[in-house]
Structure 1
Amino acid sequence: MTEKQIVVLGAGYAGLAAATRAGKRGRVTLVAPESRILHRIRQHETSAGLPVRRPAVAEVLRGRGVRHVRARATELDLAGRKVLLDNGDALAYDTLVYALGSRTAWHDVPGAAEHAHPVERAAEIAERLRTAQRPGTVAVVGGGATGIELAAELAEAHPRWTVRIVAAGQVGGWFSARGHDHVHKVLRGLGVAVHEHAAVTAVDTGGLTTAAGRIDADLVVWAASMEPQPLAAEAGLAVTPDGRAVVDDHLRSVSHPEVYVIGDAAEVTVPGTGTLRMGCATALPQGQYLGKVLTGRTDEPFAFRYVVQCLSLGRRDGLLQFIHGDDSMRPAVLTGRAGRLAKAAILRSVVMSLR
């Protein structure tokens, strides 16, 4: 491998997987402000105040030719092939790996950004619950996987609080009939109040206004949807209307082929599978694949097929939903203790897979 300077932006699952593999044979600079991995798939546990092991970035990078710069990228100079950082430095690159991921999308809901807590601030949510003078009501906005996991975990860890999950559509509505029914059975057993078809139209200090009526809450947690970080679009990379970078079948930007974009930041379409959804399940394989590309170990197009979707449903239950390669549902599921153990095994494998 030639001594080209590779710069990786972002220490999420995609960025770390790409950096560790490229660092086996080349010089890599990883730019990320974190000293420990974010571990976003365990944020529901952190929010509930449970101890979560988050390995140090240095531990993940150990033995690799990767230099970690603890800073945040503020601007991309695509013409000059430089990354400007918030510490005043500028990094030159021959190859840029853009893996800055996604952030909470507020969708211009009045008061949401001011009064709701995004799930990224999991430690802050835990502190609010821990220091509250008395139990109250927490409303989790979002009926997707993150919202379901969060509502279940909070209800189990804080049984004196009233937990509500509020969704614009159905909670877990994409699962198979067996999967959907199990999710709702567990939520009922934990005392979670489910509000479906209740799109949030405003958030204030006392709770939510929804299409189905008023929901009072002492704490609002926003887990409704995510959007790409804006830096790619601001720099001039070709992006979709929702801000995800347009890439080819080798994950290169179609407008700037010296830039690879992976993870939630990219719109990746795979023949026979479709356009990949955001999440660890798709980000980690992209990082692993790109590491092989950057070290010359493959020139094949990126390929991906789905296998399962999994949920934590508190500490004693879980759901493993088997799916077709195109992300459509199979009837079969694992639930209860078997589902929980399967999800736990997947969580353990994620950290090991980063290297």
Structure 2
Amino acid sequence: MTKRHRVVVLGAGYTGMFTAIRLARRTRRAGVEITLVNPSGRFVERLRMHQIAAGRELAVRPIPELLAGTGVTFLQGAATAIDPEARRITVDGSAFLAYDTLVYALGSSTDTGNVPGADAHAFTLNGPEAAGRFAARTAEVAAAGGTVTVCGGGLTGIEAATELAEAHPGLNVTLISTAEPGSMMGEKARAYLHRALGRLGITLETGVRVAKVLPGAVELADGRTLRSDACLWTTGVRVPPLAADSGIATDDRGLVLTDATLRSVSHPQVHAVGDAAAVRMDFGLLHGSCQSGLPTAQYTADTIARLVRGKTVKPFRFGYFHQPVSLGRKDAVVQFTKADFTPAGLRLTGRTAARYKELVSGSPLMTYRYSRHVNVTTLVSRGGRAVPEPTV
């Protein structure tokens, strides 16, 4: 009897889920056994966590339902150790799971450890439960006419601030950012974004850094203290230390160092995708996002399928396409980009942009659904060139 090739995918976020489903279809006759491991049985739509924060309910999507009919085995549990030499994973501290190929897709979360008080006094959007706790607190603050501070002027902070201001008209929302919100966009798209912030009554504190988070305030680096009845922390990213602790080569942030085929430079049987991977194109290191994560998942599923069949693989290539930002439920701005993420001339605004952003947010689930039956292609080969693998 021919031994089945065992593939284990760690993490059932956007990239891990897509890798497992696509790989199952690509290897359905190749004798491959796929196991998807995740601590929670619920698939989390991270692109929509700001909607939960504003008090909106999202559909609960059980992971086994998304995997139905694929042949992928789901194991609910947390990977606590990896032995890359023995090719074995420890799950929940006691169970062992062997693999021939490992896909490391554990993703990232908001880092509250770099500013004093953030871990104790700030909320995050690290999952539905965390977003739900913030929503409950925000409802109390809004009822009292209080103030919510959103720390971080990136896309997540902008979406959270505008969603909150729209859902709670009596709430005072302050957005604090070291850089100008929308600084990565073109001038016209950025101007539209700022008009939306003004229309929603959001107070901007730009060019400043939060030095400390207090129980009822945030202290800025310039010495000022701002009232904050609830603080939402959206800046800074951290990844699980599992790869580094297991002896897999990582960079100084814990991202798995990959070669041009997204395989670990120290352990080629380990593939890394999404936020967990240090993926470098000729224009620089990819930043963690669904836009770049899904193509890494698609590429990795196809790569493993080819390797199992003894075929060669080409280097991963990727180029960015857009920067979509929701500004509440009925407004948005979409800045289309060049492959290196710099702004191009085209943009969308208003309701058209809002519909576009909703399509983007819902596209992963559609991709999973159709990928069970056909090979769905994401934006993998648009511009960008792989560069030589890093030196360990």
Does the TM-score normalized on the shorter chain lie above 0.5? Answer: yes
Q: Tell me, in whole angstroms, the C-alpha distance in 1 between the residues paired with 2:145 and 2:95.
A: 47
* Residue aligning to 1:340: 354
* Residue aligning to 2:385: none
One-letter code of the match for 1:289? Y
* Residue aligning to 1:301: 315
Gaps of at least 5 residues in structure 2 are 372-392
Q: Tell me, in whole angstroms, the C-alpha distance in 2 between the residues paired with 1:298 and 1:159.
A: 57
TM-score if structure 1 supplies the norm length? 0.96
Q: Tell me, in whole angstroms, the C-alpha distance in 2 between the residues paired with 1:195 and 1:131.
A: 24
Confirm or deny that 1:233 pairs with 2:247.
no
* Residue aligning to 1:201: 211
Residue 78 of structure 1, CA deviation = 1.6
One-letter code of the match for 2:136? E
Which deviates more, 32-41 or 317-326?
32-41
Residue 107 of structure 1, CA deviation = 4.8
One-letter code of the match for 2:301? G
Q: Tell me, in whole angstroms, the C-alpha distance in 2 between the residues paired with 1:226 and 1:2.
A: 40
Residue 51 of structure 1, CA deviation = 2.2
Which deviates more, 180-189 or 75-84?
75-84
Could you tell me whether the CA contact under 8 Å between 1:178 and 1:331 is conserved in 2? no
* Residue aligning to 1:351: 365
Of 139, 146, 165, the residue aligned with 1:136 is 146
1:149-187 deviations in Å (ceiling 9; x for gaps): 000000000111111110122122111111111111101
Q: Describe the SS at the equivalent of 2:345.
A: strand
* Residue aligning to 1:7: 8
One-letter code of the match for 1:10? G
Aligned length: 354
Distance 1:135 1:85, change over 3 A: farther
Could you tell me whether the CA contact under 8 Å between 1:14 and 1:262 is conserved in 2? yes
* Residue aligning to 1:20: 21
Q: Tell me, in whole angstroms, the C-alpha distance in 1 between the residues paired with 2:197 and 2:102.
A: 44
Residue 301 of structure 1, CA deviation = 1.5
One-letter code of the match for 1:254? V
* Residue aligning to 2:374: none
* Residue aligning to 2:183: 173
Gaps of at least 5 residues in structure 1 are none
Q: Tell me, in whole angstroms, the C-alpha distance in 2 between the residues paired with 1:59 and 1:326.
A: 36
* Residue aligning to 2:38: 32
Could you tell me whether the CA contact under 8 Å between 2:138 and 2:148 is conserved in 1? no
One-letter code of the match for 1:167? S
What is the percentage of aligned positions where both structures have the same residue? 38
Root-mean-square deviation (Å): 1.6
Could you tell me whether the CA contact under 8 Å between 1:177 and 1:331 is conserved in 2? no
Q: Tell me, in whole angstroms, the C-alpha distance in 2 between the residues paired with 1:283 and 1:232.
A: 18
One-letter code of the match for 2:295? P
* Residue aligning to 2:386: none
- The residue correspondences of 1:103-182 to structure 2 (distance < 5 A) are 103-120=109-126, 121-132=130-141, 134-182=144-192
Q: Describe the SS at the equivalent of 1:185.
A: helix
Q: Tell me, in whole angstroms, the C-alpha distance in 2 between the residues paired with 1:155 and 1:298.
A: 52
1:250-291 deviations in Å (ceiling 9; x for gaps): 1100001111111101110123x4321111111111111111
Of 254, 257, 282, the residue aligned with 1:246 is 257
Q: Tell me, in whole angstroms, the C-alpha distance in 2 between the residues paired with 1:7 and 1:321.
A: 37
Q: Tell me, in whole angstroms, the C-alpha distance in 1 between the residues paired with 2:272 and 2:363.
A: 24
TM-score if structure 2 supplies the norm length? 0.87
Q: Describe the SS at the equivalent of 1:119.
A: coil
Q: Describe the SS at the equivalent of 1:23.
A: helix
